[in-house]
Amino acid sequence: MERLINKVAIITGAAQGMGESHARTFVAEGAKVILTDVSAEAGQKLADELGENAIFIKHDVTCSEQWAHVVAEAEKAFGHVNVLVNNAGILGPMVKTQELQEADYLKVCDINQHSVFYGMKAVIPSMIKAGIGSIVNISSIAGIVANYGFPSLAYVASKFAVRGMTKATAIEYGEKNIRVNSVHPGFIKTPMMVAATNEEGGDALAQIPLGRLAEPKEVSNLVLFLASEESSYITATEHSIDAGMTAQ
């Protein structure tokens, strides 16, 4: 079933992990997709594999000028952008506040938080021209609660910010038929998460009611729903996908 026919989507951090899964899912569901990442070799390889409905652009999400370039290239290739998935992110150093260096704090906030602002600002004019838009900002359960193995102030601060930015932008642009939602994954089996724990989830398993890490595809199914017209009356909302972790 092609649930994203006539959708032109930008997905950041698309070279691996959840971003790669989102890109594969979107193309399979009929979208034309612009994959962006700093990992050029992996990103281009994935775009080549996905075929004519996918292009790759090397992209530093912390640079507003590069965002303008990405949107312009997307419009040139496929037309007005009507979906944005702000997926790029990093964990940063897992240290306590007293040990957190200013440079590390700013780097995490630049990639996880400021890039979301740059992306929304860059893509909204294209969505207004299209007459419709859906922005999906990938936050974290660390944007809902400040624990579960995330002691870093920088990570928690950036992910809580994404949640608030999502709501504010959704309220501002609802009249333009642009929806904005945030997704809050728990422990997902991605290279970033495995590096922080292990293939099974390490000590985190004790905190997960379903007793396992999620596969990236499980998050992609939620992102697909929010990007599609099936969620046409859903905006300004956080969507946890955490196997019940934040219910405790």
Cβ burial, residue 47 (10 Å; 0-12/13-18/19+): buried
Please pick, among 148, 155, 173, 233, the residue that the annotation labels catalytic.
Answer: 155
HSE-CB at 138 with a 13 A cutoff on CA atoms is: 28
Catalytic: 155?
yes
User: Which is nearest to 123 in space by CA: 39, 12, 212?
Assistant: 12
Catalytic sites, residue numbers: 155
